[in-house]
Structure 1
Amino acid sequence: MNDPDGVVGLFQGVRLTPTQRRIAHSLVQHASAAAFLSAAEVAELARVSQPSVTRFAMALGYDGFPALRRRLRELAGNGTPVTPPESGNEAQRAVRGEMRHLDRLADQLADHTALSAAGALLAASRPLPVLGLRAAAPLAAYFAYFAAKVLPDVRVLDSGGSLLADRLEQARSAGATALLAVVLPRYPRESLDALRDARDAGLSTVVITDSPVSPAAEHADVALTAAVGTQLVFDLHTAPMALSMVVLQAICDAAPDGAQRRLEEFEQSVTRRQIFTS
């Protein structure tokens, strides 16, 4: 788990309620800013009540939020006030926020350990089921479209209910050994249930999610995180989409000969059928 700010370590071993997870997520995403905010401001940032922030701090073993804030300042490593809000309109600020998320993702990828482990697990799975429900469904389909060019059997699981359980069982019976799951806010309950079912069935689970304190990370053998933009009416998934392609690259790196052979076969096929104009 990559934790450049040291903040995630505060929550390890602590069972958090859904409300407390929202607070923890906000602290992870805005670590340097949170170190200089009041409990009321953190509550507004996480969209919870102020007493919830106080209870959260106490659940972590602190007397109250001021004590937790002092610890956050220690982790930040300096007492420099946070940078004032950016200028520009709402759309500009949202796009710049995505640029920061990509920068943070790039920093995380300096440590290749988790990514390499994920690539090895997923490359060995035949078939490879890819789970993505609700907001994550398009991202799962995007990953699977390209993965199908280098893997022989990629199965998108994008609908819930009893059909999802059926398709998980079918993939396992067909020989699947791992599952890639994309789980984004607001974390569909069915996605978490599917992760539990997959692990109970003996599948290794690789999860792309937005935060180390995401509830999906609890059910992952390998959790890979990329922040989600929250400045517009609906979330921006720029960094998770980039991460999905990085994961696919890791799969190719884990089995380079097979990936190259299948990619060449694909190119020959589309050329013969004149699928593309260039």
Structure 2
Amino acid sequence: MSSHGIETTFAERVRAAVERLTLAERRVARYFADHREEVLVASAAELARKAETSDATVVRTAKALGYEGLDALRRELAEELRRDLSPAGRVARTLQSVGGDPDAAFAATLDLHAESIASLRRSVTAPQFRAAVEHVVQAGRVAVFGLGPSSAMAEYLAVQLGRFGLDTLALTESGLLLADRLLRLRPGDLLVVMAYGRIYPELRAVFDRADALGVPRILMTDTLGAEIGGRADLVLDIPRGRADTVSLHTATLAFIEALLVGVAARRPEQTLEALRELNRLRAEVAGPDLAL
């Protein structure tokens, strides 16, 4: 938003001002436009060095673009980046808030974790949690889908449920490799889907395959409930922290851990027997000292 109340993007400001900028100022403006996230966290001296100019030219360019100074440019650029939820943008805004202070980074991150847990308490109800546990306990096999950072958590959930004696399948491949995994889905499975941010081809393919097989599904998401929640039997709103800062997976992991405890509590004898067998096999493979 410009000082006159007219919505103007940063790129539009640069285009409108380019003709009246000096050559050095144009170079700085281009650097600003190409490295928006860095502008939020770098000092005027650092920006000057990277744009091969002086501190004064960096500040002068910000004013030539219609800002009161570099700080005002940063504030409006941060606001614009809040509408561009790229990972780099979120990390840059997080770094801007903590500066270069490790203590501030530690405290701010713990605050975000605490907020995520508090949000999870509000967003997932006790009946929803019980329904999720029952879905898992009643399933012939649990297939867990997740890509990117979620793939590690999908693998973790599948491994832990396997240790509890449940049959599992991790669906963590992307592209053509996912088709081989989807071929292994079968009626009687439960599909647990972790999906955040946007609907991508693999996510559509997973739901389409589940539709074809009549497989029930649980959707864990923060933003996709309205778009694709109608295709799931149970939608769990799992927050990933503030939308304008670095994405945290605290709530997702916390829910997974709670689900594991809930499943174990629901079938304690089978769980303990499976874990005792796991311990026996570990001792057989690695020796009694490595049995856990």
TM-score w.r.t. length of structure 1: 0.60
Q: Summarize deviations over 1:154-198 as a string: whole Å, max 9, x none.
A: 1111112343233223230xx543111111234533123312321
Query: Is the aligned partner of 1:129 residue 2:129?
Result: no
Tell me what 2:162 maps to: 148
Tell me what 2:111 maps to: 96
Tell me what 2:185 maps to: 171
Tell me what 1:226 maps to: 238
Task: Specify whether residues 96 and 205 from structure 1 end up closer, same or farther in structure 2 by C-alpha distance, changes over 3 A only.
Answer: same
SS at match of 1:207: strand
Task: Specify whether residues 46 and 105 from structure 1 end up closer, same or farther in structure 2 by C-alpha distance, changes over 3 A only.
Answer: same
Q: Does the 8 Å contact 1:208/1:244 carry over to 2?
A: no
Give the AA of the match of 1:241.
L
Give the AA of the match of 2:150.
A
Task: Quote the Cα distance in structure 2 between the aligned partners of 1:107 and 1:233.
Answer: 20
* Equivalences for residues 20-31 of structure 1 within 5 A: none
Q: Does the 8 Å contact 1:128/1:180 carry over to 2?
A: yes
Give the AA of the match of 1:130.
V
* Equivalences for residues 208-219 of structure 1 within 5 A: 208-211=220-223, 213=225, 215-219=227-231
SS at match of 1:170: coil
SS at match of 2:290: coil
Task: Quote the Cα distance in structure 2 between the aligned partners of 1:200 and 1:42.
Answer: 44
Structure 2: state its 5+ residue gaps.
1-77, 86-96
Tell me what 1:245 maps to: 257
SS at match of 2:184: helix
Q: Which has the larger radius of gyration?
A: 2
SS at match of 1:148: helix
Task: Specify whether residues 112 and 241 from structure 1 end up closer, same or farther in structure 2 by C-alpha distance, changes over 3 A only.
Answer: same
Give the AA of the match of 1:185.
G
Aligned residues: 200
State the Cα distance separating 1:263 from its structure 2 match. 2.0
Task: Quote the Cα distance in structure 2 between the aligned partners of 1:238 and 1:207.
Answer: 17
RMSD: 3.3
Given the alignment, which residue of 177, 185, 188 partners 2:200? 188
Task: Quote the Cα distance in structure 1 between the aligned partners of 2:98 and 2:164.
Answer: 42
SS at match of 2:163: coil
Q: Summarize deviations over 1:135-168 as a string: whole Å, max 9, x none.
A: 2111101212211101342111111234323322
TM-score w.r.t. length of structure 2: 0.57
Task: Quote the Cα distance in structure 2 between the aligned partners of 1:43 and 1:197.
Answer: 38
Tell me what 2:8 maps to: none
Task: Specify whether residues 116 and 152 from structure 1 end up closer, same or farther in structure 2 by C-alpha distance, changes over 3 A only.
Answer: same
Task: Specify whether residues 276 and 165 from structure 1 end up closer, same or farther in structure 2 by C-alpha distance, changes over 3 A only.
Answer: same
Tell me what 1:57 maps to: none
Query: Is the aligned partner of 1:266 residue 2:281?
Result: no
Task: Answer 1 or 2: which has greater helix percent.
Answer: 2
Task: Quote the Cα distance in structure 2 between the aligned partners of 1:216 and 1:251.
Answer: 26
Task: Quote the Cα distance in structure 1 between the aligned partners of 2:116 and 2:245.
Answer: 18
State the Cα distance separating 1:211 from its structure 2 match. 4.1
Given the alignment, which residue of 247, 250, 255 partners 1:235? 247
Q: Summarize deviations over 1:34-77 as a string: whole Å, max 9, x none.
A: xxxxxxx99864449xxxxxxxxxxxxxxxxxxxxxxxxxxxxx
Task: Specify whether residues 219 and 151 from structure 1 end up closer, same or farther in structure 2 by C-alpha distance, changes over 3 A only.
Answer: farther
Tell me what 1:139 maps to: 153
